[in-house]
A and B are shown apart, each in its own frame.
Chain A
Amino acid sequence: MDRRYVYLDNNGTTRMADEVIAFMHENDSLYGNASSMHTLGRQAAAGIEWARKEVADLIEASADEIYFTSGASESNNSVLNIFRDRIDSGDKRNRIVISSVEHPATIETAKYLTKKGYIIDYCPVDHIGRIKLDELKRLVGENTALVSIMTGNNESGTIQPVKEAAEIAHKAGAFFHTDATQAIGKIPVSVKDIDADYLSLSGHKFYGPKGIGVLYAKKGVPLSPFVHGGHQEKGMRAGTYNNQAIFGIGKAAELARINLKDEHDRLWAMREALRKGIEERIPDVIVNGSNDESLCLPGTLNISFPSAEGESILLYLDLEGIEVSTGSACATGSLEPSYVLLAAGLDVELAHGSIRFSFGRYNTMDDVAYVLDRLPPIIEKVRAMSTRRI
């Protein structure tokens, strides 16, 4: 089979959609400062408000609940920091509950809040990486200020029961945040359906530009400025508007809304074809997460290859033009393998030997066939070199 370039790291980031690039170019004369009163400023502002409405429609919010940020990391930081401010003003609720598999932007900000007097409770997950709702019920109480559970996990692809989690939070009088970064454009995400108070998302995960994201905040929930120094975003996020990026995320949101069902089915079909192909061709593999369509983000396939180490597999695949990611410690620069997979009870060796394939809209079944052609000999080679060879 001819060598080809196969990008399978769409959970890491995506290529901008052609339509998004075209749209940003079409509007590149709209460089006016959207806060200005002159025509160019007002045109830019109109474009930004159009984009705001597109993002709002995608998640069934209203436009005035959408705050543009630099991305989901900023959105996650901002939500938690709103609560940092609340404890300073004497709120007696001093606990925050997050899952043990949240993105570092949530985990690290939560840890930082412990310096401000918060106690962080970590909700454990089961063997597929799904939060244990009975544990969440036990952890959430009258002192809980905020519960933050991601919609779908970036590594395992596991979808969380966020609707149930929101209900548990609200029953205790706590606010509920979900980091929907990985779920947007792959599964339906509705702030109404979830009854979320806050939601984070990022443009570059669904074919929009990098450096642009959104924090959704329901009307009336606590807010405090994410960035001080300007009136933009109702005084919550200072800084001159990044017009083109905002136009881009608006277009990406429009595409995601229109294509959602087809995109979901296409991604799931490729994921399943790869999974079944690997299971047929390579002995002794373990799928991490769930193979149930209702519990897994459609484009994510996380597989462990016992006796083989992830970084080696990743780099041999890269030499063949196939780009993936791994949960191995070697690839992260830390000494620990993926905390997400370990939290789901995976053995360290299997976490080191995990590879994540994540599909996107520019992948095809030919890509699947190519991976199935090149992967088996690589696994065989790595295993033959291994002290752990079977």
Chain B
Amino acid sequence: MADSFMAQWVYTDTVKDHFINPRNLWKEGEEFSPDGVGEVGSLACGDQMRVGIKVKDGKISDLRWLTYGCASAIASTSMMSEMAIGMSLEDAYHLTPAMITDALGGLPEHKFHCSVLGDKALRAAIDDYLEKNGMPNPYKGTTAKIICECKGVTDQMIEELVKNGKVNNFEELQAETGCSTACGKCRDRILEELNEALHIYGK
């Protein structure tokens, strides 16, 4: 091949490194009994992640993961695992996609949802841990963002409704929550959240 032009790799070098050498992978046959497990994503969207955590003294002492997905999904989960180990449950619960993406040196815009899945799976694992141990969950709801101010509809409400199969389109969401029926200014953002949730949880 001619070498007049140097090609950049598709993603950043950090993404490449995590893609080639994924950290904390849940190896087959490995002795790892998780205290909590979370799984998000669907095959329809082409990304699915499972996260298992060990908890000690209110901190994530160890973590293993599996991902069905593209290079940025693999790298996102791998990076998330490095960041989460050693974190308090509260900090881990508030790990955001932007923090993971930043640590990876950025992801293309259309790949952003890959990093969204990593932190969602982690939260699901923490929820699972607290529930299994009969502990109160002080974090649930604390990460919600209000999307429709008039009707107080949050991103998590949308996510839950889609996850439970109660909402499959905008009309159903509107009927269920009344979102975008007052000033209507949030419509685009509601659609964005809804499409993202449908993409992750839809059939």
Q: Which A residues have a C-beta under 8 Å from some C-beta of B? A: 5, 307-309, 311-312, 315, 319, 328-331, 333, 335, 337, 348-349, 352, 384-389
Q: Assess A384 versus B27: contact at CB under 8 Å? Given A309-B68, A309-B70, A312-B74.
A: yes
Q: Given the complex of chains A and B, what is the CA–CA distance between A5 and B43 in angstroms?
A: 32
**Main DSSP-derived SS at the B contact region:** mixed
- A335-B27 contact given A307-B68, A348-B44, A387-B66, CB 8 Å threshold: no
> Given A387-B66, A389-B28, A312–B71 Cβ distance below 8 Å?
yes
Q: Can you name the residue of chain A whose Cβ is closest to the Cβ of B51?
A: A387
B10 and A5: CB pair below 8 A? no
Contact of B22 with A385 in the complex, beta carbons under 8 Å = yes
Interface residue? B50 (CB, 8 A): yes
Bound CA span A335–B27, Å: 29
Known: A312-B74, A315-B10, A333-B110. A387 touches B67 (CB 8 A): yes
A315 and B66 form a contact (CB under 8 A): no
Q: How far is the CA of A389 from the CA of B50 in the complex (A)?
A: 12
Interface contacts beyond A330-B47, A330-B70: sample of 6 additional A-B pairs, CB < 8 Å, sorted by A: A309-B68, A330-B72, A337-B46, A385-B68, A386-B67, A387-B41
Once A and B bind, how many residue pairs between them come within 8 Å at the CB atom? 67
CB contacts (< 8 Å) of B68 on chain A: these are 307-309, 385-388
- Given A335-B199, A348-B43, A387-B39, check contact A312 B70 (CB 8 Å): yes
Asked if B46 contacts A329 (CB within 8 A), the reply is yes
Contact B19 A388 (CB under 8 A): no
Q: Give the chain B neighbours of A335 by CB distance below 8 A.
A: 45, 199
Q: Given A333-B110, A387-B48, A387-B50, do A349 and B43 touch, yes or no (CB 8 Å)?
A: yes
Q: A335-B199, A384-B27, A389-B28 are in contact. Are A311 and B71 (CB under 8 A)?
A: yes
Is A385 touching B19 in the complex (CB atoms < 8 A)?
A: no
Measured between beta carbons, the chain B residues less than 8 angstroms from A308 are 68
By a beta-carbon cutoff of 8 Å, the part of chain B in contact with chain A is 1, 10, 19-20, 22, 25, 27-28, 39, 41, 43-50, 66-74, 110-111, 199
Q: List 22 A-B contacts (CB under 8 A).
A: A309-B68, A309-B69, A309-B73, A312-B19, A312-B69, A312-B70, A330-B46, A330-B47, A331-B70, A333-B110, A335-B45, A349-B43, A352-B43, A384-B28, A385-B22, A385-B25, A385-B67, A385-B68, A385-B74, A387-B39, A387-B41, A387-B50
Q: Which of B41, B44, B48, B71 contacts A315 (CB 8 A)?
A: B71
Given A385-B25, A387-B39, residue A330 in contact with residue B19 (CB < 8 A)? no
Q: Please provide the 6 A-B residue pairs with the shortest distance between their CB atoms, ordered closest to farther.
A: A330-B70, A311-B70, A349-B43, A352-B46, A386-B68, A387-B66
